[in-house]
Amino acid sequence: MGKTILETQNISKYFHDPLTIQVLKEVSFSIKQGEFISVIGKSGCGKSTLLYILSTMDTDYQGKLWIDGELMMQKKEVDLARIRNKKIGFVFQFHYLLNEFTVLQNVMLPGLKLSEHAAKEVEHRAYEKLKILGIENEALKLPNQLSGGQKQRVAIARALINDPLIIMGDEPTGNLDKKNGDIVFQIFKELASSFNQTLLIVTHDNEFAERTDRIIEMEDGKIIKH
């Protein structure tokens, strides 16, 4: 196994509305390069909350978070945005594609934002990602011309565009039927094995979890098994 790319130490999170409740309780764990990890636990146990903190979108927590050896505390909003852009790929339950842009443009957007490559190169890379996901023929369509499963695959391609350190998914198969869910799982599996991609996927599907390398189980804001 490779080096540690993400680590947390005693992460706690409170919500104050309507009553103060502690949603995460001193969560500590680490992720190594190339791991395919699933996070499971009952609904409401804090999985999504944890994922949003790990993704740097939620900064209102206690404890420490390192991504790629860098401490995230006290970082400015612009810097966090750049870290998300470069190092984290996201897949949500909903695809969040921009309907004004073609599939290809949707995939390219984070790459253009990063602007490490020229636009032509970004386009080329976007095509490659679409090819990996088997939807290169849909590249020039608009998102609302695609099926639900295809949209989710576009979202994965978008998450891959900047070759992120880690892909995070919050129930990415939650909105899909069994067949499409399996396709998406196969894609994750393929990314992990062929491209040594690190993945952290929240799921409520135990069958899905069983097939991953490692399972983190949560209960009531705590990690009970990892």
Partner 1 sequence: MRLKLLANISRSLLLARWKQTLVAAIGVTFSITMFITLLSFMSGLNDLLDGLIINRTPHIRLYNEILPAQKQAVDLVPSFHHYYNFVRSVKPKNDLLQIRNSEAIVNSLAKDSRVLGVAPKVTVPVFYNIGNIDLTGIINGIDVEAEARLFLFKDYVTEGNYIDLKNIPNSIILGKSAAEKMLANIGDMIQVTTAKGNPIQLKVVGYFQSGLQEIDKVQSYCSINTAQKMLGESNTYITDIQVKLKNILQAPQLSNEYAHLYDTEAVDIQTANSQFETGSKVRSLISYAVGITLLVVAGFGIYNILNMMIYEKMDSIAILKATGFSGLDVQRIFIGIALFIGIFGGLLGLLFGFGLSAFIDQIPFNTAALPTIKTYPINYNPSYYIIGTVFSILTTYLAGYFPARKASKVDPVVIIRGK
Ligand X SMILES: Nc1ncnc2c1ncn2[C@@H]1O[C@H](COP(=O)(O)OP(=O)(O)O)[C@@H](O)[C@H]1O
Strand order in the sheet with 21-32: 21-32, 4-15, 62-67, 70-71
C-alpha–C-alpha distance, residues 63 and 169, integer Å: 22
Q: Which of 23, 81, 114, 142 binds ligand X (CB under 6 A)?
A: 23
Q: Which of 2, 4, 14, 15 binds ligand X (CB under 6 A)?
A: 15
Q: Which is nearer to Mg ion, 8 or 48 (CB)?
A: 48
Judged by the rule CB under 5 A, the positions of this chain that interact with Mg ion are 48
Establish if 168 lies at the interface with ligand X (CB under 6 A).
no
Alpha carbons within 13 angstroms on the beta-carbon side of residue 49 total 24
Considering only the stretches 40-48, 90-98, 130-138, 174-182, report the one whose residues sit in contact with ligand X under the rule CB under 6 A: 40-48
Q: Which is nearer to partner 1, 81 or 215 (CB)?
A: 81
Element (H, E) at 134: none
Q: Which is nearer to partner 1, 94 or 127 (CB)?
A: 94
What are the Cα distances from residue 52, in Å, to 35, 118, 132, 135, 191? 19, 30, 27, 28, 22
Binding site partner of 17, from Mg ion, ligand X, partner 1, none, Cβ cut-off 5-8 A by kind: ligand X
Q: Which is nearer to ligand X, 2 or 44 (CB)?
A: 44
Listed in order, strand segments (DSSP E) in the chain are 4-15, 21-32, 36-41, 62-67, 70-71, 88-91, 166-170, 198-202, 214-219, 222-225
C-alpha–C-alpha distance, residues 154 and 142, integer Å: 11
Q: Is 147 helix (H, G, I), strand (E, B) or coil?
A: coil
Binding site partner of 90, from ligand X, Mg ion, partner 1, none, Cβ cut-off 5-8 A by kind: partner 1
Q: Which is nearer to Mg ion, 49 or 180 (CB)?
A: 49
How far apart are CB 23 and ligand X at their closest, in Å? 4
Q: Which is nearer to partner 1, 32 or 99 (CB)?
A: 99
205-226 CB burial, b ≥16 within 10 A, e <16:
beebbeebeeebbbeebebeee
How far apart are CB 48 and ligand X at their closest, in Å? 3
Binding site partner of 29, from Mg ion, ligand X, partner 1, none, Cβ cut-off 5-8 A by kind: none
Binding region for ligand X (CB under 6 A)? 15, 17, 23, 41, 43-49
